[in-house]
Chain A
């Protein structure tokens, strides 16, 4: 069972996701970074599908790969920031400290997940999981859900108010 189809698919998706992340850090042009990020988002959606969480996967594509990437691209293209990010300068000490940090983090994560146990897995979770999410969201977690919607509404109104303020200032200038 080591080389099942699922395993190969997971390897491919994980590789693309990590490569997207590494490219995001290494590329110099901002738009290239966003494209690298797009690959990471899509392959993470693929990993969700492997875990039978199709609803989360689709929402991942819809929200992250679709909307957020487009908003970032819009922002970058309209504002034209300094296109090239500059080369990081730093002495040897800095490099050694970074390496130590990475080793420490890797060690901490290893200890964390070495004998991680999620308890007995619930078998029926992947059956009709969209329906199950809906039922849980609208019965057990209804108050957090409604509160989130209020927070989003406040953010929306706030954005409109800020946009309107700019208009008024420009009108005064003229």
Chain B
């Protein structure tokens, strides 16, 4: 549907439809973020033998996040006196906007997608890089040495882990012969890439966790020990923007992992295809989110030097070896 709209004549009506679609997607993502945070706290509580939120909004704490967000909105918006005002104000926006932009190319089902871009995969990775600049700017503009250190740490981590992230998906691109996310899903009709590309999956998952700044790679914003990093000086709504960007990335990255490795909206077995694609996508997506939360509950944090060594000396060589392996296997299969 969106595809036809994009090729139709420009006009106020079409603009309105596309705009309404984007707003709808934004609300879906905000809904996910609200209950994603609650789910995270509940699952963490379950894994650590405690209750988690259980007061606001019934026994499951269903309104806990809503109350938290309201509290954040009502908080005083502080700007340090010696901060670089324009950059301090624009940094959360630059960090948040790309996280929503990447959702445009991720196909949720075969019909539910905003833009069917030929280089969808590369677009995702390119636009993600812009968030790093927002974090770096926020850290610098706060005029606080801890914020600056945190920003540097975040930027170094994110640009380093981007490389194994890209390298690990080259195998998939080789097998599919396309960087279009729809084609990648279509190529998994018979066998998911998690089985064809297990090495790529492991490397991608580790690098994705690092890109998301989640435990065990959350040095950029360890709330308790390392005084939070680049957003120490932020409060209220601006701080919420940074956190929102992070959870939207979690949504986007889980969708991308589902699309790349778990067959997107395709059913598990072909006789189960009476269940709609959206349900399959949601199930796989939730499984990925669950694993990310599970990581957070069970892994200790890494040290910065270990983090960098892990990226350059372990993940990158494995990812490159995987490219060679995939190319060789593909050539051998072509012989027969």
- Chain A contact residues, CB within 8 Å of chain B: 4-5, 8, 29, 31-32, 35, 38, 42, 54-55, 58-59, 61-62, 65-67, 69-70, 73-74, 77-78, 128-130
Does B210 interact with chain A (Cβ within 8 Å)?
no
Q: Do residues A54 and B118 form an inter-chain contact, with CB atoms below 8 A?
A: yes
Other A-B pairs beyond A4-B10, A59-B126, 14, CB < 8 Å: A5-B10, A31-B137, A35-B90, A58-B122, A58-B126, A59-B122, A65-B129, A65-B133, A66-B133, A67-B159, A70-B132, A77-B140, A77-B152, A128-B118
Q: Which residue of the partner chain, among B9, B119, B132, contacts A54 with CB atoms under 8 Å?
A: B119
Q: Do residues A65 and B130 form an inter-chain contact, with CB atoms below 8 A?
A: yes
- State the total of A-B contacts with C-beta under 8 angstroms: 76
Q: Do residues A73 and B129 form an inter-chain contact, with CB atoms below 8 A?
A: no
A29 to B123, CA, bound (A): 31
Chain A residues with CB under 8 A of B119: 54-55, 58, 130
The smallest beta-carbon distance between A134 and chain B, in angstroms, is: 10
Chain B residues with CB under 8 A of A59: 122, 126
Chain B residues with CB under 8 A of A42: 130
A50 to B155, CA, bound (A): 30
The smallest beta-carbon distance between A157 and chain B, in angstroms, is: 16
Q: Do residues A31 and B87 form an inter-chain contact, with CB atoms below 8 A?
A: yes
> Would you mind naming 10 contact pairs between A and B with Cβ atoms under 8 Å apart?
A4-B10, A5-B9, A35-B90, A58-B119, A65-B130, A70-B155, A74-B155, A77-B136, A77-B140, A128-B118
Q: Which residue of the partner chain, among A55, A58, A73, A130, contacts B133 with CB atoms under 8 Å?
A: A73
The smallest beta-carbon distance between A169 and chain B, in angstroms, is: 23
Q: Do residues A61 and B130 form an inter-chain contact, with CB atoms below 8 A?
A: yes
The smallest beta-carbon distance between A2 and chain B, in angstroms, is: 12
State the 6 A-B residue pairs at the shortest beta-carbon distance, nearest first. Answer: A66-B129, A5-B10, A62-B126, A61-B126, A58-B122, A58-B126
Complex: chain A residue closest to B137, CB-CB: A35
Q: Do residues B127 and A61 form an inter-chain contact, with CB atoms below 8 A?
A: yes
A74 to B148, CA, bound (A): 10
Does B117 interact with chain A (Cβ within 8 Å)?
yes
Q: Do residues A32 and B86 form an inter-chain contact, with CB atoms below 8 A?
A: yes
Q: Do residues A58 and B123 form an inter-chain contact, with CB atoms below 8 A?
A: yes
Complex: chain B residue closest to A42, CB-CB: B130
Chain B residues with CB under 8 A of A54: 117-119, 123
The smallest beta-carbon distance between B212 and chain A, in angstroms, is: 17
A58 to B120, CA, bound (A): 9
A38 to B10, CA, bound (A): 28
Complex: chain A residue closest to B122, CB-CB: A58
Does B256 interact with chain A (Cβ within 8 Å)?
no
Q: Knowing A70-B132, A73-B136, A73-B137, say if A62 contacts B125 (CB, 8 Å).
A: yes
A138 to B123, CA, bound (A): 22
Chain B residues with CB under 8 A of A35: 87, 90, 137
Does B84 interact with chain A (Cβ within 8 Å)?
yes
The smallest beta-carbon distance between B149 and chain A, in angstroms, is: 10
Complex: chain A residue closest to B125, CB-CB: A62
Chain B residues with CB under 8 A of A73: 133, 136-137, 140, 155
The smallest beta-carbon distance between A126 and chain B, in angstroms, is: 10
Chain A residues with CB under 8 A of B126: 58-59, 61-62, 65-66
Q: Do residues A130 and B118 form an inter-chain contact, with CB atoms below 8 A?
A: yes
Does B95 interact with chain A (Cβ within 8 Å)?
no
A35 to B137, CA, bound (A): 9
Q: Do residues B148 and A32 form an inter-chain contact, with CB atoms below 8 A?
A: no
Chain A residues with CB under 8 A of B136: 70, 73-74, 77
A59 to B127, CA, bound (A): 10
Chain B residues with CB under 8 A of A128: 118
Q: Do residues B155 and A29 form an inter-chain contact, with CB atoms below 8 A?
A: no
Chain B residues with CB under 8 A of A78: 152
Q: Do residues B129 and A61 form an inter-chain contact, with CB atoms below 8 A?
A: yes
Q: Do residues A77 and B148 form an inter-chain contact, with CB atoms below 8 A?
A: yes
The smallest beta-carbon distance between A9 and chain B, in angstroms, is: 9
Q: In B16-70, which residues have CB < 8 Å from any A CB?
A: none
Does B165 interact with chain A (Cβ within 8 Å)?
no
Q: Which residue of the partner chain, among A31, A58, A69, contacts B84 with CB atoms under 8 Å?
A: A31
Chain A residues with CB under 8 A of B10: 4-5, 8
Chain B residues with CB under 8 A of A70: 129, 132-133, 136, 155, 159
The smallest beta-carbon distance between B164 and chain A, in angstroms, is: 15
Q: Do residues B152 and A74 form an inter-chain contact, with CB atoms below 8 A?
A: yes
Q: Which residue of the partner chain, among A31, A38, A62, A74, contacts B122 with CB atoms under 8 Å?
A: A62
Does B219 interact with chain A (Cβ within 8 Å)?
no
